[in-house]
Amino acid sequence: MRKLLNKKGQATEGSFQTILGIVLIAVLVIVAIFLFVSLSAGFVNLETVAVTGEALTPITAGTSVSNSTACNFAGLVVDSAVNATNDFISSGNYTVSGATIANLTVLAGETATPWNVNYTYNSGGGACEATETMITQFASYPILIGLVGTVFFLGLVIAVLIGSFGGVGRRRV
Protein backbone atom coordinates (compact mmCIF):
# COMPACT_ATOMS: atom_id res chain seq x y z
CA MET A 1 0.00 0.00 0.00
CA ARG A 2 2.83 2.34 0.82
CA LYS A 3 4.33 1.94 -2.65
CA LEU A 4 1.12 3.09 -4.35
CA LEU A 5 0.72 6.21 -2.17
CA ASN A 6 4.13 7.55 -3.16
CA LYS A 7 3.59 7.19 -6.92
CA LYS A 8 1.53 10.18 -7.90
CA GLY A 9 1.03 10.89 -11.57
CA GLN A 10 1.31 7.25 -12.55
CA ALA A 11 -1.56 7.68 -15.02
CA THR A 12 0.70 9.81 -17.21
CA GLU A 13 3.48 7.24 -17.41
CA GLY A 14 3.30 6.75 -21.20
CA SER A 15 1.96 10.17 -22.12
CA PHE A 16 5.18 11.47 -23.67
CA GLN A 17 5.24 8.67 -26.23
CA THR A 18 1.56 9.16 -26.98
CA ILE A 19 1.93 12.92 -27.46
CA LEU A 20 4.99 12.39 -29.62
CA GLY A 21 3.06 9.83 -31.69
CA ILE A 22 0.15 12.24 -32.26
CA VAL A 23 2.51 15.06 -33.22
CA LEU A 24 4.36 12.79 -35.65
CA ILE A 25 1.11 11.65 -37.26
CA ALA A 26 -0.01 15.28 -37.65
CA VAL A 27 3.34 16.19 -39.23
CA LEU A 28 3.13 13.20 -41.58
CA VAL A 29 -0.39 14.19 -42.68
CA ILE A 30 0.77 17.76 -43.40
CA VAL A 31 3.82 16.49 -45.33
CA ALA A 32 1.61 14.05 -47.28
CA ILE A 33 -0.80 16.82 -48.28
CA PHE A 34 2.12 19.01 -49.38
CA LEU A 35 3.62 16.16 -51.43
CA PHE A 36 0.29 15.31 -53.06
CA VAL A 37 -0.28 18.95 -54.04
CA SER A 38 3.23 19.13 -55.51
CA LEU A 39 2.73 15.80 -57.26
CA SER A 40 -0.61 16.92 -58.71
CA ALA A 41 0.95 20.06 -60.16
CA GLY A 42 3.51 17.87 -61.94
CA PHE A 43 0.88 15.96 -63.91
CA VAL A 44 0.72 18.29 -66.90
CA ASN A 45 -0.04 17.32 -70.49
CA LEU A 46 0.05 13.59 -69.76
CA GLU A 47 -3.09 12.87 -71.72
CA THR A 48 -4.59 14.37 -74.86
CA VAL A 49 -8.36 14.06 -74.99
CA ALA A 50 -10.51 14.49 -78.10
CA VAL A 51 -14.13 15.60 -77.70
CA THR A 52 -16.54 15.25 -80.60
CA GLY A 53 -19.80 17.11 -81.08
CA GLU A 54 -20.08 19.03 -77.82
CA ALA A 55 -23.09 21.34 -78.01
CA LEU A 56 -22.14 24.90 -77.02
CA THR A 57 -23.83 28.22 -77.40
CA PRO A 58 -20.87 30.58 -77.52
CA ILE A 59 -21.60 34.22 -76.79
CA THR A 60 -19.37 37.26 -77.10
CA ALA A 61 -18.24 36.91 -73.45
CA GLY A 62 -17.37 33.27 -74.06
CA THR A 63 -18.59 29.85 -72.99
CA SER A 64 -16.47 27.27 -71.20
CA VAL A 65 -16.24 23.75 -72.55
CA SER A 66 -17.67 21.00 -70.34
CA ASN A 67 -14.27 19.43 -69.60
CA SER A 68 -12.73 22.66 -68.34
CA THR A 69 -12.68 21.25 -64.80
CA ALA A 70 -10.44 18.33 -65.77
CA CYS A 71 -7.30 18.08 -63.68
CA ASN A 72 -4.65 20.46 -65.09
CA PHE A 73 -6.80 21.34 -68.12
CA ALA A 74 -4.67 23.10 -70.75
CA GLY A 75 -4.15 23.54 -74.47
CA LEU A 76 -7.71 23.77 -75.80
CA VAL A 77 -7.66 23.50 -79.59
CA VAL A 78 -10.89 23.68 -81.60
CA ASP A 79 -10.65 21.27 -84.52
CA SER A 80 -13.98 22.21 -86.08
CA ALA A 81 -17.26 23.90 -85.30
CA VAL A 82 -20.57 23.72 -87.15
CA ASN A 83 -23.81 25.57 -86.54
CA ALA A 84 -27.35 24.14 -86.30
CA THR A 85 -27.64 23.89 -90.10
CA ASN A 86 -24.26 22.07 -90.34
CA ASP A 87 -22.50 25.08 -91.84
CA PHE A 88 -18.78 25.10 -91.06
CA ILE A 89 -17.72 28.01 -88.80
CA SER A 90 -14.30 29.36 -89.65
CA SER A 91 -11.77 30.07 -86.93
CA GLY A 92 -12.01 33.80 -87.67
CA ASN A 93 -15.52 33.81 -86.16
CA TYR A 94 -14.44 32.70 -82.67
CA THR A 95 -11.55 32.99 -80.26
CA VAL A 96 -10.19 30.47 -77.78
CA SER A 97 -8.80 31.58 -74.45
CA GLY A 98 -8.02 29.01 -71.77
CA ALA A 99 -11.14 26.82 -71.61
CA THR A 100 -13.43 29.44 -73.17
CA ILE A 101 -14.71 29.78 -76.72
CA ALA A 102 -16.07 33.22 -77.59
CA ASN A 103 -18.32 33.90 -80.59
CA LEU A 104 -17.17 37.02 -82.44
CA THR A 105 -20.18 37.15 -84.79
CA VAL A 106 -23.00 37.64 -82.27
CA LEU A 107 -24.27 41.20 -82.36
CA ALA A 108 -25.59 43.00 -79.29
CA GLY A 109 -29.16 41.90 -78.53
CA GLU A 110 -28.93 38.95 -80.89
CA THR A 111 -29.43 35.40 -79.59
CA ALA A 112 -26.53 33.05 -80.24
CA THR A 113 -27.33 29.75 -81.93
CA PRO A 114 -25.93 26.43 -80.70
CA TRP A 115 -22.76 25.04 -82.23
CA ASN A 116 -21.40 21.52 -82.34
CA VAL A 117 -17.73 21.75 -81.52
CA ASN A 118 -14.95 19.18 -81.91
CA TYR A 119 -11.88 19.95 -79.85
CA THR A 120 -8.86 18.49 -78.11
CA TYR A 121 -7.23 19.42 -74.83
CA ASN A 122 -4.43 18.22 -72.58
CA SER A 123 -4.86 17.16 -68.98
CA GLY A 124 -3.06 15.39 -66.18
CA GLY A 125 -5.12 12.26 -66.81
CA GLY A 126 -6.12 9.60 -64.33
CA ALA A 127 -3.01 10.02 -62.17
CA CYS A 128 -3.80 13.69 -61.65
CA GLU A 129 -7.44 12.95 -60.86
CA ALA A 130 -6.43 10.29 -58.32
CA THR A 131 -4.02 12.70 -56.65
CA GLU A 132 -6.69 15.39 -56.47
CA THR A 133 -9.06 12.87 -54.87
CA MET A 134 -6.40 11.98 -52.30
CA ILE A 135 -5.86 15.65 -51.49
CA THR A 136 -9.60 16.09 -50.98
CA GLN A 137 -9.70 13.04 -48.70
CA PHE A 138 -6.74 14.25 -46.65
CA ALA A 139 -8.33 17.68 -46.31
CA SER A 140 -10.99 16.19 -44.03
CA TYR A 141 -8.48 14.43 -41.74
CA PRO A 142 -7.09 17.48 -39.84
CA ILE A 143 -10.54 18.18 -38.42
CA LEU A 144 -10.73 14.64 -37.05
CA ILE A 145 -7.15 14.79 -35.74
CA GLY A 146 -7.92 18.07 -33.99
CA LEU A 147 -10.94 16.56 -32.30
CA VAL A 148 -9.09 13.42 -31.21
CA GLY A 149 -6.13 15.52 -30.04
CA THR A 150 -8.37 17.80 -28.00
CA VAL A 151 -10.09 14.88 -26.31
CA PHE A 152 -6.71 13.24 -25.63
CA PHE A 153 -5.19 16.38 -24.10
CA LEU A 154 -8.27 16.98 -21.94
CA GLY A 155 -7.97 13.41 -20.69
CA LEU A 156 -4.28 13.96 -20.03
CA VAL A 157 -4.95 17.12 -18.02
CA ILE A 158 -7.63 15.35 -15.98
CA ALA A 159 -5.27 12.41 -15.36
CA VAL A 160 -2.49 14.75 -14.21
CA LEU A 161 -4.84 16.63 -11.89
CA ILE A 162 -6.21 13.43 -10.38
CA GLY A 163 -2.72 11.99 -10.04
CA SER A 164 -1.33 15.15 -8.46
CA PHE A 165 -4.11 15.87 -6.02
CA GLY A 166 -5.33 12.35 -5.39
CA GLY A 167 -3.42 11.87 -2.14
CA VAL A 168 -3.65 15.40 -0.65
CA GLY A 169 -5.65 14.45 2.44
CA ARG A 170 -3.76 11.23 3.18
CA ARG A 171 -0.97 10.81 5.68
CA ARG A 172 2.24 9.28 4.48
CA VAL A 173 3.88 6.64 6.61
pLDDT per position as a tens digit, 107-159: 555 567 888 999 999 988 888 888 888 777 777 666 666 666 777 777 777 77
Distance CA 150, CA 146 (A): 6
pLDDT band at 167; cut points 50, 70, 90? low
Determine the 3-state secondary structure of 106 from DSSP.
Answer: coil
Measured CA angle at 29 (ends 27, 30), to 5 deg: 65
| Side-chain half-sphere CA neighbours of 40 within 13 A | 18
The average pLDDT across 53-70 equals: 86
Domain map of the chain by residue range? 44-123, 136-165
pLDDT per position as a tens digit, 63-86: 889 888 888 888 899 999 988 888
Cα torsion 139, 142, 143, 145: sign = positive
Can you point out the beta strands (E) in 104-160?
115-123
Residue 93 DSSP label: G
